[in-house]
Amino acid sequence: MRPVIGIPCYEARRADNQRPLYGNNISYVRAVERAGGLPLLIPPLQDADALVGLADRLDGLLLSGGGDLAPAHYGESPRPECGVPEVERDVTELALARHALLAKLPVLGICRGHQVLNVALGGTLYQDISTALPEARRHDCHDRARDYRAHSIEIEPGSRLAAMLGTRQHAVNSLHHQALHRLGEGVRVLARAEDGIIEAIEVRGHPFALAVQFHPEELAPADEPSQRLFSAFVRACQR
Ligand code: MN
């Protein structure tokens, strides 16, 4: 049986009449589908108990990219550079992430999802890399194509990520202006950019809780190593 992979949605507006919608990028859906999983889009819900019931029926959870988490979730007040929070989405994703961590449900975090996983474990974020770490390189390459390889990452040798990508150095896209700061409980760094920015993590003692700051879903159609990340995730969801 193909494992069901939940992908939480965000709120958007229809271009023609501004009617509100819940959705997510097609690239995540396709990457999971190509890997043999059954993607299931999850809307933000207001009832956290209902969310746990839903999470119990999933075989895996994919936390996608998106806007900035409200800094209140990691005990900070928002700085001017921080984006406008999406309250429902924050609550939904943090509840699902905490449930996946407790229930040992496989979870793959991408970009915002990488940050959600760290915050769910009590970690914090740099609200804006360019103001907090002026020496860092540019990671916010939203003016380039989404598959533009902005920088390389150095991967922890012998790690699960090194096995998936089949390399210790990997050129990645970079579409983020925030980054992990203090690590959450049990979080282990798997990869960093040349400037030290954390680009991948996993959670100790969990069968599969892995997250990356880059966007493998945008590279995967033309890049086998990126697609292998989804294949490994879907395999973990089959157990
Ligand atoms: Mn980056």
| Span 172-195, pLDDT tens digits | 999 999 999 999 999 999 999 999
How far away, in angstroms, is 49 Cα from ligand 1 center?
35
Domain 4-238 has CATH 3.40.50.880: yes
Average pLDDT value over all residues in the chain:
96
How far away, in angstroms, is 140 Cα from ligand 1 center?
7
Per-residue pLDDT, 236: 97
Q: Where are the alpha helices (DSSP H) in the chain?
A: 26-34, 48-55, 87-103, 112-120, 129-132, 160-165, 216-219, 224-238
CB-CB contact of 192 with 198 (8 Å): yes
Query: Is the per-residue pLDDT at 17 higher than 80?
Result: yes
Query: Is the per-residue pLDDT at 207 higher than 90?
Result: yes
Buried residues in 154-166 as b, exposed as e (16+ CB within 10 A) = ebbeebbbbebbe
How far away, in angstroms, is 195 Cα from ligand 1 center?
10
| Span 60-110, pLDDT tens digits | 999 999 999 999 999 999 999 999 999 999 999 999 999 999 999 999 999
Determine what percent of the chain is predicted with pLDDT higher than 90: 95
Q: Which residues are catalytic?
A: 111, 215, 217
Q: Where are the domains of the chain?
A: 4-238
Q: How far is CA 122 from CA 117, 174, 182, 189, 223, in A?
A: 9, 24, 9, 15, 34
How far is the C-alpha of 165 from the C-alpha of 224, rounded, in Å?
A: 8
How far away, in angstroms, is 200 Cα from ligand 1 center?
10
- Which residues have a Cβ under 8 Å from the Cβ of 14 and sit 6 or more positions away? 20, 21
Per-residue pLDDT, 108: 98
Would the pTM count as exceeding 0.85? yes
CB-CB contact of 139 with 176 (8 Å): yes
Per-residue pLDDT, 91: 94
3-state helix vs strand vs coil in the chain, percent to 5: 35, 25, 45
Query: Is the per-residue pLDDT at 48 higher than 80?
Result: no
Which of helix, strand or coil describes residue 97? helix
CB-CB contact of 100 with 55 (8 Å): yes
Per-residue pLDDT, 127: 98
